[in-house]
Amino acid sequence: MTIPHLARTAALILGFTIAAGATAALPALRENAKIRDGLISTAIAYEIGRKCDSLDSRWLTGIGFLNSLRSHALDLGYTRAQISAFIDDEEEKDRLEAEARALLREKGGVEGDWETYCEVGRREMAAGSRIGTLLQ
């Protein structure tokens, strides 16, 4: 399972997704930093939890956080139909995956060297970052 699978799986479970092209009055939700960064952080935390034997993802916290992102999108004026569009948009999935992988690498995660994922996770937890709050 690749990094964005958590975001995709959780989106399906929760009905949370981002519109690739909202109405003319609203920008694409991918341009909303809170939502984009939240999905990327959730995906990274999930990947760390999967690859690092000493850390786990905090599922209930993650689900609650994803629900808050969905609520935020609704509060911004996006419809459920617009919010549902993203899950089927392969370009958006690829974009989020690339951003998540790049950020994990920037933080020191090396694909195949899973201890580096553990190190990233421990640093994120110590810093109290969004990624860190989604790990235990």
The per-residue pLDDT for 123 is 98
* Beta carbons within 10 angstroms of residue 71's beta carbon: 11
Residue 18 lies in a domain: no
Is the pTM for the entire model greater than 0.85? no
Closest CA to 118 of 97, 133, 100, 132: 132
Residue 23 lies in a domain: no
Domain span at 62: 4-13+29-133
The per-residue pLDDT for 7 is 53
The per-residue pLDDT for 85 is 86
Tokens (6 digits) for 101: 């992988």
Residue 60 lies in a domain: yes
Residue 20 lies in a domain: no
Number of domains in the chain: 1
Q: At what angle do helices 4-14 and 59-75 cross, to 10 degrees?
A: 70
The per-residue pLDDT for 97 is 85
The per-residue pLDDT for 87 is 63
Mean pLDDT per 10-residue interval, the chain, length 136 residues = 55 43 69 93 95 95 93 92 80 90 97 97 98 97
Query: Dihedrals φ, ψ of 66, to 5°?
Result: -65, -35
Residue 24 lies in a domain: no
The per-residue pLDDT for 41 is 96
